[in-house]
Structure 1
Amino acid sequence: MDSIAIVGLDCAFPGAPGGDAYWDLLMRGGDAVGDIPEQRWNPRDYASQEPGAVHSEMTRGGFIDDADAFDNDFFSVAPREAAAMDPQHRLLLQCAWRALEDSGRAPGALAGTDAGVFVGVMGGEWGRLRMGDHTEITPQLGAGSSAGMTANRISYHLNLTGPSLAVDTACSSSLVAVHLAANALLSGECDTALAGGVNLVLSPALGIVYTQLGLASADGRCRPFSADADGIARSDGVGLVVLRRTADALADGQRIYAVIRGTAVNQDGRSNGVTAPNRWSQQKVVEAAYRRAGVTPEQVSFIEAHGTGTVLGDAIECAALGTVHGVERAEPCAIGSVKGNLGHTEGAAGIAGLIKAALALHHRIVPASRFADRENPQLRLAERGLRLLKSPLRLPPGEAVAGVSSFGMGGTNAHAVLATAPRTRNKAAGSAARRDSAAGAAGVFTLTGDTPEALRRNLADQAEAVAKRPRGEAAALCWNSNRIKTGLPFRFALTARDTAELAAGLRQAAGQDLPAGVAHRPWSRPVVAFLFTGQGSQFPAMTAGLHRDSAVYRHFLDEADAALAPHTGGSVRELILGGEQRIHETGNAQPALFAVGYALARTLTELGVQPAAVLGHSIGEYPAAVLAGVLSLDEAARLVAVRGALMQELPAGGGMLAVNASPADLRSLLDDEPQVGLGAVNGPADVVLSGAVKALERIAEILRSRGVRTRAVPVSHAFHSPLMAPALARFAETAGTVAAAPPQVPLASTRYGRMLRDEPMDGAYWTGQAAEPVLFSSALGALNEALAPTHLIEIGPKPQLLPLAGRAGLRGDIEFLHPAPGAEASGRDLAELVAALYRAGLDPEWDALYAPRQRTAERLRPYVFSDRHRFWNRPAEPAEKTTRSDRTPVRRVEPVLALGPPAALPAEFAEPADIPPARLDALSQDRDPVLAAVVEAVAEVGGYPLEQVVAAARFYEDLGFDSVMIMQLKDRIEARLSSAGEISVQQLLPALRSVGSLAEFLTERVSVRTP
């Protein structure tokens, strides 16, 4: 068979809440067996060995800490439903999310795909515990007790549309699930699969069975292949792996723990008892897996055996393995079983072994086996080509192969063959001398959470994880966070160059008050306008730092340079980066500013920053026109080069003067100086005069005497004045050949001082644009009125237009950004800009921010769920509740919340757009009896505390309502609000946008029906 890659995993086993903790437990030979938690059952109740008494040898076992914790708000599961759910469902939901994150993908990115879910689950203790009293059965409890729902819930909550099935073959269930998932991938049923299993020891029932069969361990420990082996000890466990076809995983650059070379499943058939193991069937399933994997027994370095620690089971398994592996080989095949550390995780036993084998291959070391120091001599391991590991085994270089066995009590056997991940060469890397020059460039670390508190909790966890890393570049970690840590409502973004800076920033953010400064929940995408800078902003070596750090900027600057080169006679790029004063000469400055403007704008669009409108100041209108699709890059480059050269040829003696006054204030002075005119109107009191230098000096002296501030603009000529006439006559000939297209992006014309309508930006436009005043203030005002931008981004080598915009009287909430703000600008400034837009709701094209060698898979700490809400398997005492409206007793079962009620839903979560905030404020429960009735009904159906059911809470997204709960809500509303009459589902559904919208609908209905 083609190989299947294990690209992600997550697990929770006794003493090991996660993959890292599991590996640590294995490597130190840890013992996870402990006392039976009080919330499960009291072992003393089953200690009696009197004749006729129910007796269990199980007094200890392996138990997961916090198995009752579930972040129901994260998955929008109402408390009432969470309390009814088998805790195995709850563990799997959180495990699935974390495993998908570990695979290097945001779980939300798989929504709507054909990803499959295959879950091994054994028995149904939850249903037996909760459904014995038929009077207490609810739809939620019915669904919550279904074994099939273990897989279906994952598919539902993550919106996965591929195959979704639960597998029960007893103790081999989870490895059989992996086998089915691998085959589904190979057949093309799905492109990604979650596979694994779960087991929670909820009652003493199976322990009693093991006792009666004589299979129960006296002290709650499994001792696989040991002379002291005396039986089975039960254990909790949950584990999932993310599987993909190896070719697909390699193509997508995913990290691979190990590959599954082949799997096989068979059955004992009619043997010496339905519950007894069969040596020949076990032998055959291993041989079949080897054939499918294309390996021979001597290639297998170690086997993670089933290894229950029963005398009969160990003997049969070793005989079967010995028949296969008793061949000529350099070293005996190592065998072991994780049951020595954990106990028997039953339905999750196969996945516990598979994850152990995958981690061993990934780390290239096999943990020692517990209890290997007293090997059972009757197993004759050495003569069968087998050995127990008394110390860890380091795997030799090259491919290493491992086997994993799992056998079911009913005779369904499974075996998987794993191998080390294929070696790949990072094409983007290379020798240090050939590496990208962006070493140490800043990245943007992103994180999202479902609430501000969740975001802070995960910030603290990520800070701890990053701080444990050796100090080094942070870019790869940042790139992985951009791919994985997205999709939840509240956003965080931080720029950092190295891991020390990143850890410090994360730690600081985690300690801040929320939501200010850390948690951002954007309600819409940002509306961005680009403002292209004009002449006067140039300086030697402008954007050199960004050029060093950003490959994308380098690419687009090269494009502009190539377009200009036929018309400038040299490289504008080299002029820009060379640090020469020649950059200030008009013939050089204009092409250089055009190149920088084009390259910066295209860098931003490559990052996913698409402008809603563009505006260009003087020469800045040319790159604006290119971005808007009016001019091609080549045509604009030709015009700019000719324009600059012609203006450079004009005689000296012209200049420009910035004045803090309005055009009206200057009218009389301009009337007296015919050689001076308005060059630009940048604001109500921001004017630039242009004309003969001597005349400008006379005006400046008069204005200074009046207390008006003036400043000479460092330019070589009087741009946008009548002194341009000699150059423009010749420029018109070139401009007349331009083929201009209508703008594809709204363009605010600084020639007309308004949004461009049907006027063509043809030769006449560009000729007039060079002679007439730049009406920046009017154009910006028109752009603001037409589009109401949330962000203004200046496109140029330093801030020149943003200060003007800041004095233009725009809305105070507009954010000003610049990708290259001055001589010290670098890739970090670009990263800061992208981070700001991400926090505002933009989903950038992150790859463009990083060099290819930085886009490599790095493992991040998975999501940390809240453990505040606790649900367990004790039915709550039913409480008599009386409604306010009709005093009819309503009997309900309260969910068990062991640590108190959930936190109130943050008001920021939602305000439905169709209900004005003022109306929502008026819908106060204390003042509105209809709202009070709705809140009580919603709280009862969902099991929510009253304070969490706020008017803004949305039924589906926030409260987790489904069709069953809607019908229950309808009945309770009709009982409480009899004056509303009978309500059909069709009438009710449109009102179910939020609690407030439902109350508003019912208020109107009551008012119409009330005389």
Structure 2
Amino acid sequence: MAQPSQLPQPSQLPQPSQLPEHDRDIAVVGLDCAFPSAVGPEAYWELLMRGGEAVGEVPQARWTADDLPGAVRDAHRTALMRGGFLADVDCFDNDFFALAPREAAAMDPQQRLLLQCAWRALEDSGRSPVDLAGTDTGVFVGVMGGEWGRLRMADPEQVSPQLGAGSSAGMAANRISYHLNLTGPSMAVDTACSSSLVAVHLAGNALLSGECDTALAGGVNLLLSPALGLVYSQLGLVSPDGRCKPFSADADGIGRSDGVGLVVLRRLADAVADGQRIYAVIKGTAVNQDGRSNGVTAPSRWSQQKVLQAAYRRSGVTPEQISFVEAHGTGTALGDAIECAALGAVHGVERERPCAIGSVKGNLGHTEGAAGIAGLIKTVLALHHRIVPASRFADRENPQLRLSERGLRLLKSPLRLPPGPVLAGVSSFGMGGTNAHVVLAGAPRAAGRAAPRQSGAVGVFTVTADSPEALGRNLAAQAEAIARRPRGSVAALCRSSNRVKTGLPYRYAVTARDTEELADRLRRAADDSADGAGGYAQRPWTKPVVAFLFTGQGSQFPAMTAGLHRESAVYRRHLAEVDAALAPHVGGSILDLVLRGDEAVRETGPAQPALFAVGYALAATLGELGVQPAAVIGHSVGEFAAAVVAGVLDLGPAAELVATRASLMQQLPAGGGMLTVHVAPADLAELLAAQPELTVAAVNGPADVVLSGPIAELDRAERVLAGRGGRTARMKVSHAFHSPLMAPAVEAFRAAAATVRPGVPRLPIASTRYGAMLGDRPMDADYWARQLAEPVLFADALDALLDEVAPTHLVEIGPRPQLLPLAGRSGRSAGVEFLHPSPGPEATGRDLAEVVAALYRAGLDPEWGALYPSDLRASERLRPYVFATGNRYWGCAPAPRPAPVRTVPEPARAARTAPAPAPRTADPALAVVIEAVLQVGGHPPELVVPEARFYEDLGFDSVMIMQLKDGVEARLPQAGEVSIHQLLPALRTIGSLAELYGELVTAKAA
């Protein structure tokens, strides 16, 4: 590859501080494309930079020489049998877009290409396409003619409602809007070869007028027949070797080519405000017409000149500021001469260096309806990479074009762009005389600035897909792409995945700290799917129901949650907030005491405020991440943080009560203790009768009891229980909590609590004082005073919570697991997932991230931003969605396809893997409905089962429903005609519709 030449910075080019603020600037924030030999932006850029070409023989699936009449074949063989062709254009993931096979087969493959291209482009813009559903996003698509309709509608026997919509060029944009549920302006544009650049012009105007806030713009072109090539050949426009050679001495006509490309556009201010990656900025556009020139198909130099001048004027720039122009450049003698004359008339002004020109048609051929977008994406990528690819065939410049004399030059080697702002232009001219020009600039410096990277910061990487197979495929694709990156932090990658790779039914999420670890974990998940393990694939049908369990005293230790405090800014903020609330009542900073690893935290006085602080801060952190509990339960002092979360107590009064409680209990005489015994409460009756000074302080489970009382009595009880084979453990506490020895503190604490007026709970509370749901009983002064000395009935309270709330997840809120093991031994928590955001001394921010990942897999949609540093706004480009390629459509009927291999079973309600139905002859109505569905939709028989849903699983629409109704009633005349009002409620599944018709047949027979 030739080495880049360095372009000095023109003295006329303004510095960033001198550039005027344009409120009419449009940002290019996303893009996707597929061109021959270059599927995807990376492959396209690689093709351009190596000066490759994409011209070859026509695939047999399109047409063959034998399809042409002999005279035509002999006269125009080269013109008709060579070009740039996309491979596998018959592949289409119709299941992803919920399109029935018969409808997919009837669709113009250009529509199918656009649908998948639109999804990938929106992902590239840093947003999940699902998030745009219902927004005023606009769609503007350039598309020439309607070959598919002419080919398919010519046979009346093939005509169907699906083909009518599928063959309409006007539906090219509407399909995208419909399937992505975008409600902004949606239009197809046909101005011949300028169509896609005119679409960009219209999209920009719609953004500036406020018609939409996001716009998709671009074009598509597929060579479906040799007809238009024959027209070009008869006009003398076709190159004998099927290649375009723009501005070359060898230029001898055009070669045709496939192509599709879309860009995502936003107003620049909006893109900057949302932190989107900006490839380039559209400064202005212009469109005009040749009017009555030398012929309706002949270009006009004067109109081309005017459209350039209008675009520069509207952009607020002057021609000498333009560093390079991506020209229309077809490689026809007349077209190149007229275009260079127009370019020279505008750019041939005094300037330091000539204006560079080129045309991507030298690489691809003429992509016709997609020609403008091919040039625009090339220019956008050039500005983004700050290098302009060399022009193919530039080594034999056409001297008759007088480029140097006109202030122009062809790039014989790549042009490295100078630092600072750079401006470029893109031209596209239609055969009928509609001309378009776009002025582009590099991304603003602030928008291109990378956010600070935190080395080793943990993140949650998310991937979603429409099926288990698709999830495995996309996990493997992401693993492969990430493995190619240099080893480094993944926080920005993960943040981008949370914005982009969400919204589809099957979910996966994994935590990681660097790219090597992330690639490995994604690869292992993908391998599991290939092996049929399948545990990675989850499709939540509901949101998770989360209960918070607040840990009590005994779980504290020096430096608890220090790792989380170090890594989570949100946790630091909430811990500082509660520390400030406690400080006036504890005589200093509990936060400092905890984080410096002071052993004093083990003492009751500081331990209880410290546990309250940790509990409050953990719960508040989870709440900011979008984890809202459906119910709360607190063990002893843990009830205070639970009461704050439930809205019973405000933070300030609760902090004062906890500090007072801890101080009163610390001041009590020493000499008491607590003993954990793994014995059923009923089996302790004899021991307690013999030792009346002992009391049950807590019943934590069927065989988890805590005894409290004098040390001597505990020693005696320990010996007795050991003799019976019972397991015991002495708790490291300073006093006999929850026993009569607490009595001296009760009245003083009652008086303190009387100053606080409790609120009404916003959440259900399982009271460990009552051993039941709190209900409408108040958490008043009497409650808190008696809670200090009475037993903790955790087991009964947890049973009540499980019965009333039925949580799917129990999340312990405290410095280490204490209550989750109790819940596990209770025998009541089968099927409930246990989570802990800070499970012990080694806990870090990763444990918090694991909680969020687990809940996301279960159906939670977190507030992802709270997981990352606030200044982490960089958007990383991720591998776009990998669509299935197993379904092929080239004709009006679906091609036979093998039954998909199911590595992971889905729930029965999903049609793709629903269990096989009973024999179809067992239920005549069901057999009739299934037969009609197969005829209307063209689905593989294994998917048409009673549980299959018409809209979500089979992709039916209103037209297909009416076809289905007619088909069923023709086969089942004894049911009579069903009204729409009768039909609609039954259109849930195939089975529910069969039930309706079965009931009607039975009723008629009676």
TM-score category of the 2 structures, normalised to the smaller one: over 0.9
Which of 712, 728, 751 does residue 733 from structure 1 map onto?
A: 751
Which of 464, 486, 510 does residue 494 from structure 1 map onto?
A: 510
Instruction: Give yes or no for contact 2:222–2:257 (8 Å, CA) kept in 1.
Output: yes
Would you say 1:745 and 2:740 are equivalent positions? no
Alignment partner of 2:103: what SS?
helix
C-alpha distance in 2 between matches for 1:367 and 1:256: 20
1:428 CA displacement: 9.4
Q: Which structure 2 residues correspond to residues 48-447 of structure 1 after superposition, within 5 A?
A: 48-49=70-71, 57-424=79-446, 439-447=455-463
Partner of 1:537: 555
C-alpha distance in 2 between matches for 1:428 and 1:50: 58
Change (3 A) 1:712 1:771: same
C-alpha distance in 1 between matches for 2:699 and 2:932: 62
Instruction: Give yes or no for contact 1:923–1:951 (8 Å, CA) kept in 2.
Output: no
1:283-321: CA deviation from partner (whole Å, max 9, x where unpaired): 000000000111111110100000000000000000000
Change (3 A) 1:427 1:318: closer
Which of 933, 936, 940 does residue 941 from structure 1 map onto?
A: 936
How many pairs align?
980
Which of 543, 546, 557 does residue 528 from structure 1 map onto?
A: 546
Partner of 1:896: 895
Partner of 2:484: 468
C-alpha distance in 1 between matches for 2:164 and 2:331: 36
Change (3 A) 1:999 1:398: same
Instruction: Give yes or no for contact 1:586–1:644 (8 Å, CA) kept in 2.
Output: yes
Partner of 2:973: 978
Would you say 1:810 and 2:809 are equivalent positions? no
Instruction: Give yes or no for contact 1:597–1:796 (8 Å, CA) kept in 2.
Output: yes
Would you say 1:709 and 2:704 are equivalent positions? no
Would you say 1:798 and 2:816 are equivalent positions? yes
C-alpha distance in 1 between matches for 2:675 and 2:663: 23
Which of 978, 982, 1002 does residue 997 from structure 2 map onto?
A: 1002
C-alpha distance in 2 between matches for 1:544 and 1:904: 46
C-alpha distance in 2 between matches for 1:56 and 1:674: 107
Instruction: Give yes or no for contact 2:700–2:822 (8 Å, CA) kept in 1.
Output: yes
C-alpha distance in 1 between matches for 2:901 and 2:290: 53
Letter in 2 for 1:292: R
Letter in 1 for 2:538: H
Instruction: Give yes or no for contact 1:336–1:369 (8 Å, CA) kept in 2.
Output: yes
Partner of 1:911: 909
- Residues 669-678 or 834-843, more deviating: 669-678
Instruction: Give yes or no for contact 1:55–1:208 (8 Å, CA) kept in 2.
Output: no
Letter in 2 for 1:153: R
Would you say 1:860 and 2:878 are equivalent positions? yes
Would you say 1:952 and 2:947 are equivalent positions? yes
Which of 573, 577, 582 does residue 564 from structure 1 map onto?
A: 582
Alignment partner of 1:512: what SS?
helix
1:34 CA displacement: 0.8
Partner of 1:964: 959
C-alpha distance in 2 between matches for 1:761 and 1:50: 93
Instruction: Give yes or no for contact 2:910–2:953 (8 Å, CA) kept in 1.
Output: no
Change (3 A) 1:215 1:425: closer
Letter in 2 for 1:592: A
Alignment partner of 2:508: what SS?
strand
1:385-421: CA deviation from partner (whole Å, max 9, x where unpaired): 0000000000000000000000000000000000000
Partner of 2:986: 991
Alignment partner of 1:424: what SS?
helix
Instruction: Give yes or no for contact 1:911–1:952 (8 Å, CA) kept in 2.
Output: yes
1:921 CA displacement: 7.8
1:58-77: CA deviation from partner (whole Å, max 9, x where unpaired): 32100011111100000011
Alignment partner of 1:241: what SS?
strand
Letter in 1 for 2:291: G
C-alpha distance in 2 between matches for 1:439 and 1:794: 29
Q: Which structure 2 residues correspond to residues 781-792 of structure 1 after superposition, within 5 A?
A: 781-792=799-810
Change (3 A) 1:930 1:424: same
Instruction: Give yes or no for contact 1:58–1:233 (8 Å, CA) kept in 2.
Output: no
1:49 CA displacement: 4.8
Change (3 A) 1:135 1:48: closer
Partner of 2:634: 616
Alignment partner of 2:658: what SS?
helix
- Residues 944-953 or 402-411, more deviating: 944-953
Letter in 1 for 2:895: V
Instruction: Give yes or no for contact 2:571–2:618 (8 Å, CA) kept in 1.
Output: yes
Change (3 A) 1:425 1:112: closer
Letter in 2 for 1:542: M
- Residues 407-416 or 844-853, more deviating: 844-853
Which of 469, 476, 482 does residue 498 from structure 2 map onto?
A: 482
C-alpha distance in 2 between matches for 1:209 and 1:369: 28
C-alpha distance in 2 between matches for 1:603 and 1:439: 22
1:860-884: CA deviation from partner (whole Å, max 9, x where unpaired): 01101011111114x5xxxxxxxxx
C-alpha distance in 1 between matches for 2:270 and 2:610: 44
1:193 CA displacement: 0.2
Alignment partner of 1:334: what SS?
strand
C-alpha distance in 1 between matches for 2:592 and 2:996: 68
CA RMSD of aligned residues (A): 1.8
1:729 CA displacement: 2.2
1:952 CA displacement: 1.4
1:136-184: CA deviation from partner (whole Å, max 9, x where unpaired): 2111111111111000000000000000000000000000000000000
1:783-829: CA deviation from partner (whole Å, max 9, x where unpaired): 00001110001000000000100011214210011000000000111
Alignment partner of 1:853: what SS?
coil
Partner of 1:888: none
C-alpha distance in 2 between matches for 1:684 and 1:659: 11
1:676 CA displacement: 1.5
Letter in 2 for 1:226: S
Change (3 A) 1:106 1:710: same
Partner of 1:870: 888
Instruction: Give yes or no for contact 1:428–1:853 (8 Å, CA) kept in 2.
Output: no
Letter in 2 for 1:671: A
Change (3 A) 1:396 1:525: same
Uncovered stretches (5+) of structure 1, i.e. residues with no partner? 876-893
C-alpha distance in 2 between matches for 1:279 and 1:403: 17
1:980 CA displacement: 1.8
Change (3 A) 1:517 1:290: same
Alignment partner of 2:79: what SS?
coil
1:931-963: CA deviation from partner (whole Å, max 9, x where unpaired): 222111101100112112122111011111111
Partner of 1:890: none
1:114-144: CA deviation from partner (whole Å, max 9, x where unpaired): 0000000001110110011123211111111
1:336 CA displacement: 0.3
Change (3 A) 1:315 1:581: same
Alignment partner of 2:920: what SS?
coil
C-alpha distance in 2 between matches for 1:536 and 1:51: 90
C-alpha distance in 1 between matches for 2:765 and 2:390: 70
C-alpha distance in 1 between matches for 2:74 and 2:545: 77
Instruction: Give yes or no for contact 1:172–1:413 (8 Å, CA) kept in 2.
Output: yes
Uncovered stretches (5+) of structure 2, i.e. residues with no partner? 1-21
Alignment partner of 1:953: what SS?
coil
